[in-house]
Amino acid sequence: MRLTDTVKGILANYGSDNPGTKANLARMLMTGRLAGTGKMIILPVDQGLEHSPARSFSVNPAGYDPLYHHQLAIDAGLNAYAAPLGALECSADAFPGEIPLILKVNHSTSVYRNNEAPDQAVFATVGDAVRLGCSAIGFTIYPSSDQQFAMYEEIAEMCREAKAVGLPTVIWSYPRGGNLSKAGETAVDIDGYAAYIAATCGAHIIKVKLPSDHIEQPEGKKAFEAGNIDISTQAARVKEIMRSALGGRRIVIFSGGAAKGADAVLDDARAIRDGGGNGLIIGRNSFQRPYDDAMALLGGLIDIFLGKVQ
């Protein structure tokens, strides 16, 4: 595997990491149809645990089988496949080495009742990720939750443990809970803050939602106005999120969000590309479609990041 100059440039931003961690980052960046471009598309399938299997898979019953998702990620030429412990224990041995794996180590459920203090439980360990041949671990934090500081302490410790054995960390940074409004969960000032918090926790790859043009905090509004920060388009807002991730020195990928039409998903990808984002992590908008439709959509997304289509 010969690294491209683009990938070498990205890895140079992780100078404090050991060769094992950088090798695993390189493996993800050099896999699939986007190999070597510095762009990534990852398939995450943790929704069965987060929302319930019926809500996640009944629309496309093939999705009840974890091997279906693993195969879909390979067939589509994606960079990595992310899933919980049980799913990877079912599928890892069926596709050894065919695509980088990300073990999602913490999760919540739809029957947890505390909206002000959303939290996640740790289901898996760094040792599980090593045992399953994973290339990274994944961890969710909820900036603004009344449980946020405990979550930061958890991931800081787990991130150190992962780095020690050569595994990168992907942080899902989703503001919610506490005094944050619903609109504030995707506000551009809060989204950038979430990216910065994840980077500060030690993330190698940061997953955030696409930001809206809403500004949640009054002091944030003053800062955006004083700095003449452009948030007029989705691409401009993506650019601001990238800048918030340590000046663009961390990989940032954006969530595909709730189920939507194919045209809307493709428009999101264009905005991410044009704003300098590193890519997408797209779950429900791919695996809830029939296989052929999912393959067509994922292929279209890849073509956008390759610059084959506008």
Could you list the active site residues?
207
DSSP-derived secondary structure for the chain: -PPPHHHHHHHGGGTTS-HHHHHHHHHHHTSSTTTTTT-EEEEE--HHHHH-HHHHHTTSGGGGSHHHHHHHHHHTT-SEEEE-HHHHHHHGGGSTTSS-EEEE-EE--TT---SSS---EE---HHHHHHTT-SEEEEEE-TTSTTHHHHHHHHHHHHHHHHHTT--EEEEE---STT--TGGGG-HHHHHHHHHHHHHTT-SEEEEPPP-S----HHHHHHHHHTT---SSHHHHHHHHHHHTTTTTSEEEEE--S---HHHHHHHHHHHHHTT--EEE-SHHHHTS-HHHHHHHHHHHHHHHHTS--
> Could you tell me whether strands 106-107 and 101-104 are parallel, antiparallel, or unpaired per DSSP bridges?
unpaired
> Could you tell me whether strands 121-122 and 106-107 are parallel, antiparallel, or unpaired per DSSP bridges?
antiparallel
Residues 6+ apart with CB under 8 A from 61: none
Q: What gap in Å lies between CA 112 and CA 36, rounded to an integer? A: 41
